[in-house]
Amino acid sequence: MKNPSYPEAIYMVRMKRDRAKAALSVIIERYGVISYEPVPGLNVLLDYFNNMVYGLELLLKVLSKDWDVTGQSRFQHNFGRMYEEVFKRRYTKSDLMDLLKQAILDQKYIYEPGDKLLDRVPEVEELWDELKTEFCQRNYANIQQVVKDVTMGSDFGQYLAANVARFYRPQPVALNPHAKEERIHMLEYDVACLQKEIEHLRGSKETPEEEQTRVLERMKQEFLKKLESLGTVMKMNFEMSGGDQLRFTTWTVNWIGGDFLG
């Protein structure tokens, strides 16, 4: 077994955490507005749980020094033993450690092992915060560097060039549903906004530093208002639906052909 370095593992932890948060952000963005768009698909939950389970394991392996012996793992996938090694006490809040271990070992449905990981998001997040705090305390002011250079062979580039249509995914395009007159008014409004910005810049006596400070403060306030709006509308959506349960559904009609699995 080739062990990663601990900085490399932390790089992967950060990557997985970012993707897990992006998945939950999709849910917030959907339920934080009044919309008739379809509810998120099951893939959103899978994105969260897949990345969080592996991210937690990697972070525990770093904190417990699991790879101190080259080519070996001290704790394998035993979350409970790694947690006890880190904090010198057992995890006693629930059976979460066993569920995480089972999720790693049996990946058929990683979000639903045994007695279910599905309803443990708050506890998963609490564990993440506990591990993150411990890592930051142990490594405060340290500098970690990851330098990794991977070169794929020329065959790989040639293969992609010869199979562009197989892998290329174009950006979705939304057709403009507005009538010509409406589109003209919209463009005229855009021009007016740009002209207003030009006039503001011509008459402004702000230094570039003062302008940056003002813009950053405005963006901060807009962000705070957005957070408040999302939370308020989510609660409104819950009240309108008679509960706070979130549905995740994937509905497809498949024709099984030669390229069914892509």
Asked if residue 112 belongs to a domain, the reply is yes
- The answer on 197 and 73 residing in a single domain is no
Domain count, the chain: 2
The predicted pLDDT at position 63 comes to 96
- The answer on 201 and 88 residing in a single domain is no
Residue type, position 143, single letter = I
pLDDT at 42 over 70: yes
Asked if residue 211 belongs to a domain, the reply is yes
3-state SS class at 40: coil
Two structure tokens written together for 55? 């991210």
pLDDT at 150 over 90: no
Q: Please report which confidence band the pLDDT of residue 113 belongs to, taking 50, 70 and 90 as the band edges.
A: very low
More confident residue, 190 or 35: 190
pLDDT digits (tens, 9 = 90+) for 81-111: 999 999 999 999 999 999 999 888 876 556 5
Q: Which of 2, 16, 90 is nearest to 47 (CA)?
A: 16
- The answer on 109 and 203 residing in a single domain is no
- The answer on 126 and 14 residing in a single domain is yes
List the alpha helices (DSSP H) in 151-207: 154-162, 164-167, 180-203
Stretch among 13-17, 99-103, 244-248 having the lowest mean pLDDT: 244-248
Asked if residue 122 belongs to a domain, the reply is yes
Asked if residue 248 belongs to a domain, the reply is no
From 138, 162, 196, give the residue that closes a domain: 138
From 120, 138, 156, give the residue that closes a domain: 138
From 138, 165, 196, give the residue that closes a domain: 138
